[in-house]
Each structure stands twice: as C-alpha cells, then as structure tokens.
Amino acid sequence: MTAAKTKTKLKTSAEKNPDNFEHAFAGLEQIVTLMESGQMSLEASLAAYQRGNALLQFCQQSLAEVEQQVRILNEHHQLVQFKPQDE
C-alpha cells in the first residue's frame, strides 16, 4: 500500500476529533489492521502510530468518564440490579 493511500485511509477512518467512543475505537481498530498488514511505509507507520495513540487516549478518557458516572450513580443508589423479564 502506498503512503498516500495509507494516509487517505487513516484520515477517512479516524477523523482528527472523534465525536464518540465508537468512532474512535473503530478508527483504532482500522489503524491496527493497517499496521499489521505490513504494507505501510515507515513514514505512514509513524503517522498511524501517532494517530492510534491519540485515539487510544480518547478512548481511555471516555471510559474513565463513564466509569466515574457509574460510580456516582451507584453511590446514590440510582442503579438497580438487572433482572431479565423471563424470571
């Protein structure tokens, strides 16, 4: 894969500022797939690594925020035990 094609794929798969966890995670998965293919130039690999790192940080921050929200809800007893309707 040429460097130009790789850069285009990286730009379309993972925009600079992901709007949610799912988009960031999908972009991260695509970057991993591209890097594992072994078809990237050194320059493209470095760019993919940097972009992947930024997406990973976004995902980790998103998860930390959700975890904190769940803790707060648990502390205020606003979460209830899940019970399937079949029971």
pLDDT tens-digit map of 66-76 = 999 888 888 88
In the predicted model, is pLDDT for residue 39 greater than 70? yes
What are the residue boundaries of the structural domains of the chain, listed by start?
A: 3-75
CB 25 within 8 A of CB 59: yes
What CATH number does the domain located at 3-75 have? 1.10.287.1040
Average pLDDT value for residue range 62-66: 93
CA-atom Rg of the chain in angstroms? 18
The pLDDT confidence band at residue 9, using thresholds 50, 70 and 90, is low
In this prediction, residue 83 carries a pLDDT of: 72
CB 52 within 8 A of CB 28: yes
Q: Other CB atoms closer than 10 Å to residue 63's CB: what's the count?
A: 12
In this prediction, residue 34 carries a pLDDT of: 94
Q: What share of the chain is helix, strand, coil (3-state, %, to 5)?
A: 70, 0, 30
Instruction: Give the C-alpha separation, 8 to 48, whole Å.
Output: 11
Average pLDDT value for residue range 10-20: 65
pTM tops 0.75, yes or no: no
